[in-house]
A = this chain, B = another copy of it.
């Protein structure tokens, strides 16, 4: 296969393999998004019909304004904006609400970008401990708020908890946490990077003040792309418009939103999100089938003696962490390829996306695989086990 240019190879793993990479499946483009990439690839492609008031989310052709309105509706929120990745959504909210020295409640499984957003604003993260099942509960969140209050004399400025975490793909009690947040009158950002775009999400039902989603993680969109949505109560703060006036020219740029830095996610990335949106609206209705598939796979996976699932069971998400220390890692310890023997075996079976060389704890994600592919995967794991003399429990 020839390269794109020089040593930039053509990426074709979605075409040639079954890809179980933990973070890639939800961001695989739809055919419509791919068309958008081709038609809108050129830099400022979304600016052809930009007219007053000269802001991305007000453009009518292509229907960017309509998309913003529908996106907010789809999420059960009042306002939505697109941003270059979920992290830029955290940044916008944290930068609006958090001052130097303020505390922000996060999960003990918070994504590192939540840490960075808080650090950038001069805040301090305060982690809610997990329960024995690696779940963040409402009770633990309330306890943490009390602790912070006692320790600092002030309430945290923001609660930012992941709906599903990046480590185990466990579901955390965001509905209960939203209630706690309301009791303390602390705004609640629900990080739905692993849920918006793959399952139905309604911010009003959750009771969140902000939702953040990821285009490249779960919305069949190119990177970077993401979503930040707000209730109308907070929209004026997070989407506040510029007040700065030039001291010499007296210039003002009134409609531009400070945290968005004006126009946010232009070009092909936005049009790809819009092009995938109809498919997204349809696919979230079939989340239960995706969950059935991962549970079937894990049932089969657990028939391999020594295998464990570290994520909560039964699975509620396709992202899953497993432990093969007592199965495949035993082989790796004496194999000349070490842990790569397992990657080799998977690759020979046209399966990629596990962390190459890892045979202790590792993650996989089956989102979007067909039942045939799921059954093939289950069989492949068992075949590899058999080949190396690992027992299959009937």
Contact = CB atoms under 8 A, between A and B. Distances in A.
A27 B43 contact: yes
B95 A222 contact: no
Given A249-B108, A269-B222, A27 B8 contact: no
A13 interface: yes
Contact of A115 (B242, B274, B275): B242
A391 interface: no
Contact of A7 (B36, B46, B62, B85): B62
A161 to B, nearest CB: 14
Contacts of A108: 246, 248-249
Contacts of A271: 4, 8
A393 interface: no
Given A223-B267, A224-B267, A249 B127 contact: yes
Number of chain copies forming the complex = 2
B5 A278 contact: yes
Contact of A41 (B23, B42, B95, B222): B222
A110 B42 CA distance: 25
A243 interface: yes
B84 A126 contact: no
A44 B216 contact: yes
A99 to B, nearest CB: 9
A221 B116 contact: no
Contacts of A113: 261-262
Among A29, A35, A37, A223: residue with most chain B CB under 10 A: A223
A118 B217 CA distance: 31
Interface size class of A (residues with CB under 8 A): 35 or more
A125 B261 contact: no
A43 B244 CA distance: 36
Contacts of A47: 21, 23-24
A223 B272 CA distance: 12
B269 A43 contact: no
B244 A125 contact: yes
Interface stretch (A71-79, A251-259, A322-330): A251-259
A266 interface: yes
A232 B72 CA distance: 43
Contacts of A13: 48
Contacts of A258: 116, 119-120
A14 interface: yes
Given A216-B266, A247-B126, A248-B108, A41 B45 contact: no
Nearest to A353: B48
A16 interface: no
A42 B14 contact: yes
5 contacts: A4-B275, A23-B47, A84-B84, A115-B244, A120-B258
Interface of A: 4-14, 21, 23-24, 26-29, 32-48, 61-63, 84-85, 87-88, 91, 95, 108, 110, 112-113, 115-120, 124-129, 215-217, 220-224, 242-244, 246-249, 251, 253, 256, 258-259, 261-262, 264-269, 271-272, 274-275, 278
Given A113-B261, A117-B261, A127-B248, 19 more contacts: A4-B36, A4-B275, A11-B40, A14-B42, A21-B44, A23-B43, A24-B42, A24-B47, A26-B43, A27-B42, A29-B43, A45-B222, A84-B88, A112-B262, A120-B261, A126-B247, A127-B249, A129-B248, A269-B269
